[in-house]
Amino acid sequence: MTDREMWLRFTKTGRARTNEYESWSFGDAPDKLAALVLEGRKTATASAYDLYAYDNEDIPKVGDYSVILDSADQAVCIIVNTDVRVVPFRDVDESHARAEGEGDLSLALWREVHESFFRKELSDARMEFTEDSLIVLERFDVVFRP
């Protein structure tokens, strides 16, 4: 199912508070991470703040809807942001790491995996990653699945 088809199904439920949504897939393991969302284990995500300006995009905000896609660009579910914070990488806490639902849920693993990911993404945009790099932390709820 495409993102548009899923969005139309969701709007027919009467629960959508807007007609606007984004569609995207998770980082470098979209199928695995989307599956964690469907299991209820992943309820948060993180992204590099500086890349929003680089890509000329607004940072996410509370109430934003997203259609989550798999690696084949097929819609998996729809989420809504319930909390959005911007913090330096060094200030990401254990609670957020657990909410991301990956691996052993530890902050140490989260930092290791995400530092590598952000370092590459920022480097691709000719930016440098540091412990002070700003990170957008999003918490979300699944509001629709097929």
The number of residues in the chain equals 146
pLDDT of 54 higher than 90: yes
The mean of the pLDDT values for the chain is: 97
Give the tokens for residue 12: 């027919």
Q: Quick one: the chain helix, strand, coil %, rounded to 5?
A: 35, 25, 40
pLDDT of 27 higher than 90: no
CATH architecture of 3-144: Roll (3.10)
C-beta of residue 48 within 8 angstroms of C-beta of residue 136:
yes
Per-residue pLDDT reduced to its tens digit, 75-128: 999 999 999 999 999 999 999 999 999 999 999 999 999 999 999 999 999 999
C-beta of residue 58 within 8 angstroms of C-beta of residue 52:
yes
Give the tokens for residue 18: 């807007």
Choice between 146 and 74, residue whose per-residue pLDDT is larger: 74
